[in-house]
Structure 1
Amino acid sequence: MVEVLLAALILVCSSVSCGSAGGYTGLPALGGIYYYQYGGAYSGFSGADGERAQQLDQRFYLLKLPVARAAMAVGGCLLVFPCVLILIGVLRVPWHFPALLLIECTLYIVIAVGTVPALYYFLHSLLTVYNSTVCKEREQLYQSKGYQGFWCSLHGAEIAAGLLGCMAAMAYLLSAGLAIRDYRTVHEQKQKPLQL
């Protein structure tokens, strides 16, 4: 259940990165968070500055979109895996096929080890986006109009997604150990003669 919770939190935190394309983007997006927070999209801008701000927001959004989608895909996969294992456990499949627990242990280790380069890619890609000229120009444009909150640095949800990814890797390593323990327990129970 801890793995399910961590995966769900990773999915939510990573989805924040692609939450808004900036400015008023239509009714389904509800205009984005900045539209309401700052009293109207580009309310301090007029003419060419407003168009430039909108263009920079769109370009910045498109730069972050692949990273956010990849993180959401990983979060979704991490969410499905423990759910399937819970279902297998409820159906008592490991009792009939104890070798399945060894496969489970191997998958846990592979996922835990694979999480490390995935976290590196996630954070490195975000830092690349934040160090881009698009982000720097966008930050300067908004600061020139007195807007705050458009800094070119990781925000809380992205940092939280990274920390949750680290916690998930540790949880998977712990689960690998538990799978080995369960395999030994099932193997010992099957070796005992039935008592009537």
Structure 2
Amino acid sequence: MTLTPIPIFLLLIGILKFVEVTVNLLVLICVGAAQASVAGFTSLGGFGTGSFSLNSAYSPFEGTELQEVRDLDMQFTQMRAPCVYGGVAFSLTAAVLTLVFLVVGAKPIQQLRIRLLAGECAFNLLAGVAYVVAVGLYLHFVSQVNSTDVCKRRERLYARRGYTSMNCAVQGGDAAVALFGVAAACLYFASFVVCILAIRTVRAFQSHAAKAQHSPKSSVRDRSVRNHHAVHRTSESSHNVQALATLV
């Protein structure tokens, strides 16, 4: 009866790890998409290349206004750069470590080690807490950048030409980053709980296996098997002696 829950826990851990890797990649994609969506006309992909990335055949700005919007786009994307680089590094690191635990933990029940599961539990707890903190810092940093004079001047400049999407509110891409970040945190906390249950079950399995190995019944069984092999070897040797005597 103790053997039944073990594969269920391990299967559930594997499924959660796979979903966590997927959500981490979604966070990574949303971070890049959020930066690209607020980059503006004069900052291709949000990295300040100095060319028009949207509607490149037609420029809504001319003369000094064009130079001003270029400068504002460049400053705005540079101010948001820590969000991009930090979000990419964090989500990519979490995805790689989760994938490592997924590969290392793909073993039969008999080969699992309590230390490995304990390390995985610690990682799940730290990753869940880190994601909650990271989402809070991301939204706080985005709000700070959106409240700057650069963002407000840029918003007025784009609104003058009818482009109201370049505003200083939290954009949909940033909201998606926060949403998937919270989902990742919930997944890691769920993995932590399942991992604790898996440790208890694996310990019970190992204790049951150790008791079965050293029980009197198993000792009697082992002795009977050894006696059977000894009798078999003796009968074989006597048969060989008889055959040799017959030949002589």
TM-score, normalized by length of structure 1?
0.86
> Which residue matches 1:43?
59
The answer on whether the counterparts of 2:158 and 2:166 sit within 8 Å (CA) in structure 1 is: yes
> Which residue matches 2:165?
149
For 1:82-161, list aligned pairs within 5 A: 82-92=98-108, 95-161=111-177
Instruction: Name which of 25, 33, 52 aligns with 1:16.
Output: 33
Q: Which has the higher helix share?
A: 2
The answer on whether the counterparts of 1:24 and 1:41 sit within 8 Å (CA) in structure 2 is: no
Q: Secondary structure at the match of 1:90?
A: coil
Q: Secondary structure at the match of 2:191?
A: helix
Task: Identify unmatched segments of 5+ residues in structure 1.
Answer: none
State how far apart, in whole Å, the 1-side matches of 2:197 and 2:43 are: 53
Task: Identify unmatched segments of 5+ residues in structure 2.
Answer: 1-17, 222-248
Q: Which has the higher contact order (CA 8 A, sep 6+)?
A: 1
State how far apart, in whole Å, the 1-side matches of 2:113 and 2:123 are: 16
Change (3 A) 1:157 1:150: same
> Which residue matches 2:227?
none
Per-residue deviation at 1:163? Answer: 1.1
Per-residue deviation at 1:17? Answer: 3.4
Per-residue deviation at 1:94? Answer: 8.4
For 1:56-71, list aligned pairs within 5 A: 56-71=72-87
Change (3 A) 1:42 1:62: farther
Q: Larger Rg: 1 or 2?
A: 2
State how far apart, in whole Å, the 2-side matches of 1:110 and 1:171 are: 12
Q: Secondary structure at the match of 2:29?
A: helix
Figure out how many residues of one structure are paired with residues of the other and give that number: 192
State how far apart, in whole Å, the 2-side matches of 1:46 and 1:81 are: 49
CA-atom RMSD, angstroms? 2.8
Q: Secondary structure at the match of 2:129?
A: helix
Q: Percent identical across equivalent pairs?
A: 29
The answer on whether the counterparts of 1:17 and 1:65 sit within 8 Å (CA) in structure 2 is: no
The answer on whether the counterparts of 1:95 and 1:186 sit within 8 Å (CA) in structure 2 is: no
TM-score, normalized by length of structure 2?
0.69
